[in-house]
Amino acid sequence: MEDDEVIVEEDEALRQFLPNGFGRQTKEADVARQLEKSKRPTTSTATIKDVPQEHRKGNDESSNDDSEDDSNEDDEFPISHELVLKTHDRPITTITVDPSGSRLITGSTDCTIKFHDFASMTPNTLHAFKSVDPTATKASTSSETHPVHHVEFNPNSPSSVLVISATPQAKVFSRDGEELKEFVKGDMYLRDMHNTKGHISEITTGTWHPTNRDLCVTAGTDSTLRIWDVNMPLKQKEVIVHKSRAAGSAGRTRMTAVVWGSQVQGGKNLLVAAALDGSLVMWDGDGPYARPAAEIRDAHKNDTWTGGIDISADGRNVVTRGGDNLIKLWDTRKFKQPISVVEHASTSDQYANTDIKYSPNASSIITGSANGHLHILNPATLKPELVTPVTDGSPLVTVLWHEKLNQILTGSANAEMHVLYNPNTSTRGAAMIMSKAPKRRHIDDDPNFTTDLSQGLSGDAISTSEGLRAAQAGTSYSARHPTEGLTVSGRSRDPRRPHIPMTTPFAKSQPDEKHVRESIPLSSMRDEDPREALLKYAEKAEKDPMFTNAWKKTQPKTLYADISGNEEDEGPERKRARQG
């Protein structure tokens, strides 16, 4: 007789209670699950509704062919997955990534620039490691701030970043957020813009030289482009004054966009700028700049802000996005009439610097729309190859397609930055973040169970009921009083925080008396009486004079009159009485 098999039902509660293993457990990332969570909704229906009928893919094919087209489309454009970062409070106006793809900097109308490091972020720690107000200076006590128009890594020296705010002075920061250079401001009372050392009014945008690491150009509302050498920030290297014919006798307008491009195959660099009067002007990128190489007066409508401009990798085509709801493609060899023109709703009335960019290999053109959709256009016809929603209902302001990461970064008016990527074709960046394990939270990371002692905590504060409740709630004085910071002298307004004196090169330590006496020459003279110090040389000076030795023998002797006996007895009082 065979033994009957005993069937034991699995206890789910017991299985969850028992550990999976013994010893220290390593937390591994479930990459597949994290990628699935970051996958965007199927783009087929969202894409088809805004693409014209003749540009839709797979309209008359089978469902299998449609799925193949979608997969090919996802491989061509890195839009299958996305990562959302929200580190600003107001619309994001500019985005830049260093050439290696490791550091990301964003600028916003909240008057700050945020520094992000892809290597230090995890799926649950998407934050900036530093926030800087570029208009604030160490010496200034003013609380005035200005929106950030443009930030850009130096393509030839990734350690420097060009930062342009709504001020007449551009700045150069390091990749770690330290201010390196500040360009000078010009004299606003001079009428001739050639004679001013810098901009006299707000700068709108700027860019780096494509091959020279020391040169950059800025465009201002004073109708000038100024080329700077970062090693000489006290005066621009070149001044290009654009004389507007539509502005009448004044001849001034606002420069709204500028691009400085070089040809991959070699050749001349090109400097192209757009102005508020609708003109588009081109110069030889290496000079001379006295006269433009070509100019189009009515490239866009007068008094409309042309905020987007870019030049192709081969230097042959220039694309512009104007405030007249038009996108135009221009040939630099025949710079007279546009090659292609399409209608595209503009957002320049609210957000001036609305981007339009070429892809790294110039095979596509990307731009945003007022309804929050990303448009990928054909570089020859400007017809949409793909339209996909990113921030539905909120305008896309800035876009960037990074070459090494193969990822598309967008900044929108709702202060969100979306990083679109494809795990199959994208490298590092957002793909690296989503492949990491989430950071394990410690109990100290929860402010409900801890007390912030970074500002200090005294016994007087904890003895009161308010201080006790604050300590139990885990809130610091600075958290409960966010408007209170430092005084003008640098002293903290927090009464519980002791004053820490400023550390200077001359006060890093307090040396003892022995060290001062042995290290500093003549330091013992500080404790001597100067009269005694001089008199101890009196006898030596009389016997062996150093300065009067030459006429010692010829020096006449002092003669005094002899005093008579009667005068000696009378004294001074008797002499006065007798004279009276």
Q: What is the number of other CB atoms lying within 10 angstroms of the CB of residue 327?
A: 22
Tens digit of each residue's pLDDT (9 = 90 or more) over 352-362: 778 899 999 89
Q: Express each pLDDT in 337-374 by its tens digit.
A: 999 999 998 887 778 778 899 999 899 999 999 999 99
**How would you label 174-206 residue by residue, b for 16+ Cβ within 10 Å and e otherwise?**
ebebeeebbbbebeeeeeebeebbbbbbbbbbb
Q: Are 347 and 354 in contact (CB under 8 A)?
A: yes
- Three-state SS letters, 119-141: HHCCCCCCCCCEEECCCCCCCCC
- What's the pLDDT score for residue 48? 43
Which residue, 88, 105, 92, is CA-closest to 154?
105
Looking at the predicted structure, is the pLDDT value of residue 511 above 80? no
Give the alpha-carbon dihedral of 365, 366, 368, 374, to 10 degrees: 120
For the segment 111-166, what is each residue's pLDDT rounded down to a tens digit?
Answer: 999 999 999 999 888 999 999 999 876 544 456 789 999 999 999 999 999 999 99
Q: What span, in angstroms and rounded, lies between the C-alpha atoms of 191 and 570?
A: 88
Classify residue 396 by burial, with Cβ atoms within 10 Å: 0-12, 13-18, 19+. buried
Distance CA 215, CA 96 (A): 18
CA–CA separation, 540 and 545 (whole Å): 7
Residue 532: what residue type? E
Tokens 């700077």 belong to residue:
228
Q: What is the DSSP letter of 525?
A: G
The pLDDT assigned to 45 comes to 38
Residue 409 pLDDT > 60 = yes
Distance of CA 459 to the CA centre of its chain: 41
Q: Residue 314: its pLDDT value, please?
A: 87
Pairing label, strands 171-174, 160-165:
antiparallel
95: how many CB neighbours lie within 10 A of its CB? 22
Q: What is the DSSP letter of 486?
A: B
Residue 27, pLDDT score? 55
Distance CA 21, CA 510 (A): 56
Q: In DSSP terms, which residues pair with 105 in a beta bridge?
A: 96, 115
Q: What is the pLDDT averaged over residues 46-50?
A: 47
Q: In angstroms, what is the C-alpha Rg of the chain?
A: 37
What is the Cβ-side half-sphere exposure of residue 527, based on CA atoms within 13 angstroms? 5
Bridge partner list, 208 = 216
- Domains of the chain, by residue range, sit at 76-434, 449-495
> Alpha carbon of 60 to those of 68, 337, 383, 388: distances in Å?
14, 37, 20, 21
pLDDT band at 3 (very low <50, low <70, confident <90, very high): low
Q: What angle do CA 378, 425, 315 make, to 5 degrees?
A: 40
Three-class SS of 53-97: HHHCCCCCCCHHHHHHHHHHHHHHCCCCEEEEECCCCCCEEEEEE
**Type and span of the H or E element at 539:** helix 538-543
* Class at the top of the CATH hierarchy for domain 76-434: mainly beta
DSSP state, residue 161: E
DSSP code, position 212: -
pLDDT reported for residue 18: 66
Least confident of 268-277, 405-414, 545-554: 545-554
Q: pLDDT at position 518, please?
A: 78
pTM of this structure: 0.70
**Whether pLDDT at 93 is above 60:** yes
In this prediction, residues 276-295 reach a mean pLDDT of 91
Q: How far, in Å, are 97, 115, 157, 253, 257 from residue 151 at the CA level?
A: 10, 11, 14, 23, 14
- pLDDT for residue 396 is more than 90: yes
Tokens of 444: 């100290």
Cα angle at 359 between 353 and 362, to 5 degrees? 120
- Calculate mean pLDDT across residues 284-304: 90
Which residues, at least 6 apart from 181, have a Cβ–Cβ distance to it below 8 Å? 171, 172, 230, 233
Q: Are the C-beta atoms of 319 and 291 separated by less than 8 Å? A: no
In the predicted model, is pLDDT for residue 519 greater than 90? no
Residue 451 has pLDDT above 70, yes or no: no
Q: Which residue has the higher pLDDT, 35 or 53?
A: 35
Looking at residue 527, its pLDDT comes to 72
Instruction: Evaluate whether 455 touches 494 at the Cβ level (below 8 Å).
Output: yes
pLDDT tens figures, 217-264: 999 999 999 999 999 999 999 999 998 877 665 678 999 999 998 876
The lowest-confidence range among 51-55, 237-241, 531-535, 541-545 is 51-55
Rounded to the nearest integer, the mean pLDDT of the chain is 80
- Find all residues with CB under 8 Å of 84, minimum gap 6, and list them: 126, 416, 417, 418, 419
Classified as helix, coil or strand, 174 is: strand
